[in-house]
Amino acid sequence: MIMNRSLITVFLVFLFSCKSTDEIIDNDANCTGNYSTENVLTNINVEIFNNDESVNTYSRYSWSSDGESRILSGNGIPNHEVGTFPNSGNPNRIREQSVNKNFTLCPSVISENGLDIVGPAMVIAYALNSVKFDPATAGRCNNAGVCSLAQGQGNWNIEALGHDTFDFGDDMNHAHVQPNGAYHYHGIPELLVEFLGDKQGMTIVGWASDGFPVYARYGFSDPDDPDSSVKSLKPSYRLKTEPDSNRPMVLTTLIGGPSQGTTNPNTEISMGAFTQDYEYVDGLGDLDKCNGRYGVTPEFPDGIYYYVVTDDFPFFTRCLKGDI
C-alpha cells in the first residue's frame, strides 16, 4: 500500500512533538484527582489517503483539547493496510463513519473491579486513527449448538479471536467490518503500531472512554521503573480446565452469517471459542481484570492507570475502571 508520505511525516511530527517532557503532565487542567492527561497527544490533525484496495479513501482524524476534554473527530477509516473486505468470513465493505467523542482530561478510578461494558451502546475505546476498539462480538450459541455470528440467541458469547471454530474474517490487524461499514479492532492493531514507529517499546495507540490511555503489548518489567527492561505484558486470564455445564461442544447449525443455514453435526466447538471458556486469576499475569495496570509510561513518568491490548485473551479490556 502507498500513502501520501508527506502527510505521514506531518503526522509523526505532531505525534512525537506531543511526547516532549514539558507536555506530558499539565495540572492546569484543574484536575482534582490523581491524574491529568492534559497536553498528551492533544494537537493532532491528520488527513492521509489510503489507497488499499479495500479502503481507497482518506483517513481523517484529529485530537484536540478545550482545557476540560480531549476531543476526537474522525471518519473511522484506518490509516494503514487492511485485509480484503468483503471476504468469505465477512461480507461487509469499509465505509466512512462519523466519529465525535469527548474524553475527560482528568480520569479517575472509581471501581477497582471495573464496570463491564456490554453491547453496542458504549464504545470502549478509540485508536489514535479514530478506529474503534470493539473486542466482543454479537455472535451467540445456545445449549444445542445452534449458533449465529450476528445477533445470535443463547448464553454463549462467541469470541472473534483465539480459536478456529468460527470465522469472522478478521485481518492482520485483528480487525474486521461491521454491517454498517465500521472497521474496528478486536485485538492489537499491528500495522497501526508499525505506523506509529515503535514495535518494541511502549506505544500509546488510543484512549479508553474513561480517559485513560491504551498501550499495545509492551510495558516496563517493573511497572514503577522506567529504566527496567520492556517486556510483552501478559493478561491474568486462562482457559478453564473443564467446560462449563451445558456448554455446547458441537456446532449443529450456523445461521445469520457466511454459510448461514449450514448444518455441521461433527464440528467441534473448541475451548476458547466462548468468552465463558476463560477465567480470571488474580496475579496470574501482569495485568488486572480490566487488562490494565498502574505504572509509569513514557508519556506519564509519574505513573497512571493504563489499559493494554495483548496477544492473548481478553485481547482488550471488556471493562472500564474509570468514570464514563
Rounded to the nearest 5 degrees, what angle is found at the Cα of 24, between the Cα atoms of 20 and 25?
Answer: 150
Separate counts of helices (H) and strands (E) for the chain: 2, 23
Q: How far apart are CA 219 and CA 224, in angstroms?
A: 10
Summarize the confidence of residues 1-18 as an average pLDDT. Answer: 39
* 57-95 pLDDT per residue, tens: 999 999 999 999 999 999 999 999 999 999 999 999 999
In total, the chain counts a number of residues equal to 324
Strands 250-255 and 237-239: unpaired
Quote the pLDDT of residue 13: 36
For the chain, the domain total comes to: 1
Question: pTM above 0.75?
Answer: yes
* 146-167 pLDDT per residue, tens: 999 887 789 999 999 999 999 9
Summarize the confidence of residues 172-197 as an average pLDDT. Answer: 96
Query: Quick check: 129 and 107 in contact, CB under 8 A?
Result: no
Tell whether the model's pLDDT for residue 4 goes beyond 50: no
Q: How far apart are CA 90 and CA 176, in angstroms?
A: 7
Quote the pLDDT of residue 199: 62
Quote the pLDDT of residue 244: 97
Query: Please, what is the average pLDDT of the chain?
Result: 89
Q: How far apart are CA 309 and CA 215, in angstroms?
A: 6
Instruction: Give the domain extent around 235.
Output: 5-320
What amino acid is encoded at 185 in this protein?
Y
Confidence band (pLDDT; 50, 70, 90) for 31?
A: confident
Tell whether the model's pLDDT for residue 47 goes beyond 50: yes
- Residue 217 CB partners (closer than 8 Å, separation 6+): 188, 193, 203, 232, 233, 308, 309, 310, 311
